[in-house]
């Protein structure tokens, strides 16, 4: 059935612009697409897949590339861009904040990864020297392609991309969220006339709980734990989620100590220099000033000995300083571990949720602390994805990517059934003419 569906969709109709899916097709990871006109070829994202082994998008000769668009700093979207700066100096376009955060995350990736990387820190430096900072809603040109970045609502500095040539306009949503948060505004959806949309499908099979309800439940549980004398560990992604949790605590007038650790501190420092990308920069600054920034191991030990909240990477408990805190917090029933990030199957965080057991002191032990997960997603749910297509209109071609376990095909079928549109769930290597 899916084979038939796929073949029906791969239909070439004209030749002003082509789109080739280099990665992220039918999977989450190594997102990359190539958009080509008669005179120009650009790449939009070029990320890595971090699974049992490191994966890269399809190779594109650097000499064939006129420019690269960086939508945001997550490694599955930017982690392979330095490959184009080993022996060449290709311009990379994105927001100033995306570049600052990408430097932080790729540097950490180079230093900490157990994988063999085909590039080095000097190539990242070259990439940054080729950065062209672009603001939202300020059109620019790469050859004969006209490009515009729109706010994505996914992560600070993140972008959607509109590419236009010969009157045809293609929207690439990258990762996006149409629901505003304490940290970010909702995605900018004033798209205008769009001829084709390339959209994510991360949550094509699920809707998210209403944001305000999640926040209220989180604060209720945090206050309960702290008021019984417990310490709450919130393992959270360094970029975006940690800062949102700090803003939620500040917005709700949390009176107990808040400690922030790990790379989240570096992200906080970067965001203070780019307040224009935040929904409420005053709230963010209040949250930053409210928190105690860990300076060393003494601060970490003290944080576990008093009622309060500790926000620390890693969000899935795969590493980072959160592992140190788990060794102490997991042992006492008055404490709590509140997971606020997505937990990949078989990750330590996922196993903690399923079994309430964790590796403590070198042995797998029962966690006595309260354990719960809260859905502070940075992606659209199924309803928001469908509504995005509805807003664009019925005269549009749809391409679905960035979805695992059949979600690309699932969303493609749902859109086709809802609107009767021409929809494709491409495979890696598929090329479509627009």
* pLDDT, tens digit, 9 for 90 and up, residues 19-57: 999 999 999 999 999 999 999 999 999 999 987 778 999
Query: How far apart are alpha carbons 314 and 235 in whole angstroms?
Result: 6
* pLDDT-based confidence at residue 69 (cuts at 50, 70, 90): very high
Residue 195 DSSP label: S
Does 265 have pLDDT greater than 70? yes
What is the rounded (10 degree) CA torsion for 100, 106, 109, 112? -60
* pLDDT, tens digit, 9 for 90 and up, residues 70-80: 999 999 999 99
Quick check: pTM over 0.85? yes
SS3 169: strand
* Cβ atoms < 10 Å from Cβ of 266: 17
pLDDT of residue 114: 60
Does 367 have pLDDT greater than 80? yes
Write phi, then psi, for 172 (nearest 5 degrees): -110, 115
* Cβ atoms < 10 Å from Cβ of 230: 20
Share of the chain above pLDDT 90, in %: 88
E strand or H helix at 115: none
* pLDDT, tens digit, 9 for 90 and up, residues 308-347: 999 999 999 988 899 999 999 999 999 999 999 988 888 8
Report, as an integer, the average pLDDT of 119-143. Answer: 97
Any idea what the Cα angle at residue 153 is, between residues 89 and 206, rounded to 5°?
115
Query: How far apart are alpha carbons 257 and 326 in whole angstroms?
Result: 18
pLDDT of residue 220: 98
Per the prediction, the chain carries an average pLDDT of 93
* pLDDT-based confidence at residue 6 (cuts at 50, 70, 90): very low
* pLDDT, tens digit, 9 for 90 and up, residues 180-223: 999 999 999 999 999 999 999 999 999 999 999 999 999 999 99
* pLDDT-based confidence at residue 15 (cuts at 50, 70, 90): low
* Cβ atoms < 10 Å from Cβ of 17: 24
pLDDT of residue 3: 40
Question: Cis omega (within 30 of 0) on the bond before 314?
Answer: yes
pLDDT of residue 360: 83
Beta bridge partners of 423: 398
* pLDDT, tens digit, 9 for 90 and up, residues 373-419: 999 999 999 999 999 999 998 889 999 999 998 999 999 999 999 99
Domains of the chain: 2-206+378-433 (3.60.15.10), 211-373 (3.40.50.10890)
386 vs 5: which has the higher pLDDT: 386
pLDDT of residue 236: 95
Beta bridge partners of 363: 360
Does 4 have pLDDT greater than 60? no
Do 74 and 47 form a contact (C-beta atoms < 8 A)? Answer: yes
């Amino acid at each position: 059935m899916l084979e038939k569906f796929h073949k029906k969709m791969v239909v070439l109709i004209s030749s002003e612009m082509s789109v080739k899916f280099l990665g992220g097709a039918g999977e989450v990871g190594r997102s990359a697409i190539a958009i080509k006109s008669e005179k120009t070829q650009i790449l939009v994202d070029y990320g890595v897949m971090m699974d049992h082994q490191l994966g890269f998008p399809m190779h594109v000769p650097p000499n064939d590339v006129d420019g690269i668009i960086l939508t945001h700093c997550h490694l599955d979207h930017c982690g392979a861009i330095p490959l184009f700066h080993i022996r060449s100096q290709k311009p990379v376009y994105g927001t100033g904040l995306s570049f600052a955060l990408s430097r932080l995350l790729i540097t950490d990736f180079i230093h900490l990864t157990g994988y063999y990387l085909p590039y080095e820190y000097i190539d990242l430096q070259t990439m940054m020297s080729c950065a062209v900072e672009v603001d939202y809603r300020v059109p620019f040109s790469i050859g004969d392609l006209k490009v515009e970045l729109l706010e994505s609502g996914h992560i600070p500095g993140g972008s959607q991309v509109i590419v236009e040539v010969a009157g045809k306009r293609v929207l690439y949503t990258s990762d996006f969220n149409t629901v505003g948060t304490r940290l970010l505004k909702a995605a900018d959806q004033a798209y205008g006339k769009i001829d084709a949309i390339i959209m994510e499908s991360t949550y094509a099979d699920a809707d998210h709980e209403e944001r305000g309800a999640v926040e209220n439940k989180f604060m209720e549980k945090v206050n309960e734990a702290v008021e019984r004398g417990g310490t709450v560990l919130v393992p959270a992604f360094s970029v975006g989620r940690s800062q949102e949790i700090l803003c939620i605590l500040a917005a709700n007038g949390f009176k107990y100590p808040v400690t922030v650790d790990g790379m989240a501190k570096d992200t906080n420092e970067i965001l203070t220099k780019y307040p224009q990308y935040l929904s409420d920069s005053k709230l963010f600054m209040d949250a930053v000033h409210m928190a105690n920034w860990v300076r060393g191991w003494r601060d970490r030990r003290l944080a576990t000995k008093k009622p309060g909240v500790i926000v620390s990477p890693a969000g899935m408990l795969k590493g980072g300083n959160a592992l140190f805190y788990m060794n102490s917090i997991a042992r006492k029933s008055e404490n709590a571990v509140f997971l606020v990030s997505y937990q990949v199957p078989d990750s330590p965080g996922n196993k903690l949720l399923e079994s309430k057991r964790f590796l403590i002191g070198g042995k797998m032990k029962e966690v006595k602390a309260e354990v719960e997960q809260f859905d502070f997603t940075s992606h659209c749910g199924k309803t928001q994805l469908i509504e995005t297509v509805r807003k664009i209109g019925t005269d549009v071609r749809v391409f679905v990517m960035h979805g695992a376990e059949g979600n690309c095909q699932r969303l493609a079928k749902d859109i086709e059934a809802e609107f009767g549109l021409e929809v494709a769930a491409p495979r890696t290597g598929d090329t479509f003419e627009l």
